[in-house]
Amino acid sequence: MKVSVVVCTYAMDRYDVFSACVDSVLAQTYEPLEIVLVVDGNEAVFERVRDDYGDLDDVVLHCNDENHGISYSRTRGAKIATGDVVAFIDDDAVAEDDWVAELARGYDETDAIAVGGHVAADWVTEKPDFFPAEFYWLVGCDERGMGEHMEELRNTYGSNISFRRDVFLNVGGYDENTGRKGDRHIQAHEAPVCIRMANQYGKGVIYNTDAVVHHKLFDYRGDFRWLVFRSFWQGYSKRIMDLLLPEASGDKNEYLGQLMLEFVPNRLSDLVREPSAAKVKQLVTIFIFTTAVGVGYLYGLAAVDRAELAVDRDVAAEA
């Protein structure tokens, strides 16, 4: 079974971390392996990629004609790929040497059509003591309660996910309205493709915790204000997701219930047994982040209502 790994990048100031990512994929123990490098509309970056990797066997290069965003780039990479399975990793992550082998094992040992793995937090700076493990999903890493080894989930995160290539393309790949494009970031872009996959094939993503990538978390990802802001836009994105795919809402409600009925009580009990300032900060942060997500969701709800009202007024005026 041939596996194609797609790595997308777009900016020169990310080149060093992108290069570390590509080198980790080149070091994989699995064969046969193809690597597809997609540069999102930056000719200067593409020239450097071509100089560094253009002469290597089983490495395919592509540059988009303009900046289309991560979702377009990943789907484009999957179309270029020739593997039976297409795997995705973020350009600021580093894969363990057996990452692809472990993803492939999921297909060999089960009837999986998609396999994801564990995204471990790799703090480039000191980890903030206020940051709770329950909210690692804010920075694209596996949160507390993510799932059990080889459990079938709706989706894993974009830095560590793979699909049978024909399945991925049959459901249309990533939705270009989601994901990062310049400064815009409608989040949770794995969910739409995985929900369409579940609707069409009746299967989710097998979560192999032995398939590990380390996602670099730079200083700004530990900034409290940035995280609150990101929580807000996560809530907004969830509202957009509910409109695009109503099936997505159940996952959100299930996580909120687990957070408030299991994790928060456990933290309170632990705090009583062994008090510490960090534990207090993390408990308070859980409520702040949860509130920010809720406010973002309500903002999305109101924004959609305003848009629908404007359309109704336009229709009435035309009548």
Q: 80-89: per-residue pLDDT in tens?
A: 999 999 999 9
Q: Can you list the pairs that 218-223 forms with residues at least 24 positions away whose Cβ atoms lie under 8 Å?
A: 218/92, 218/124, 218/125, 219/124, 219/125, 221/139, 222/123, 222/125, 222/126, 222/127, 222/128, 222/131
Q: Are 225 and 181 in contact (CB under 8 A)?
A: no
> What's the mean pLDDT in 262-286?
95
Which structure tokens are listed for 245? 């795919």
d(CA 182, CA 192): 20
pLDDT at 194 over 60: yes
> What's the mean pLDDT in 186-213?
90
d(CA 303, CA 132): 30
At residue 248 the predicted structure's pLDDT band, cuts being 50, 70 and 90, is low
pLDDT at 274 over 50: yes
Q: What is the dihedral of CA 97, 101, 106, 107, to 10 degrees?
A: 150
Of the ranges 58-62, 95-99, 304-308, which one carries the lowest mean pLDDT score? 304-308
How confident is the model over 111-138, as pLDDT tens digits? 999 999 999 999 998 899 999 999 999 9
pLDDT at 251 over 70: no
At residue 249 the predicted structure's pLDDT band, cuts being 50, 70 and 90, is low
pLDDT at 155 over 70: yes
172-to-41, 47, 164, 195, 266 alpha-carbon distances in Å: 22, 30, 13, 12, 41
Express the helix, strand and coil content of the chain in percent, nearest 5 each.
55, 20, 30
d(CA 128, CA 222): 6
pLDDT at 183 over 60: no
Yes or no: is domain 3-222 CATH 3.90.550.10?
yes
Q: Is 314 helix (H, G, I), strand (E, B) or coil?
A: helix
How confident is the model over 13-35, as pLDDT tens digits? 999 999 999 999 999 999 999 99
Residue 247's pLDDT is 63
How confident is the model over 57-84, as pLDDT tens digits? 999 999 999 999 999 999 999 999 999 9
The one-character DSSP state at 143 is P
At residue 309 the predicted structure's pLDDT band, cuts being 50, 70 and 90, is very low
Show me where the domains of the chain are located.
3-222, 248-318
Residue 7's pLDDT is 98
d(CA 204, CA 157): 13
Residue 308's pLDDT is 46
pLDDT at 315 over 70: no
pTM for this one?
0.89
> What's the mean pLDDT in 239-250?
68
Amino acid at site 67: N
In 182-295, DSSP assigns E strands to 184-186, 205-217
d(CA 218, CA 315): 48
- Select from 147, 121, 153 the least CA-distant residue to 136: 121
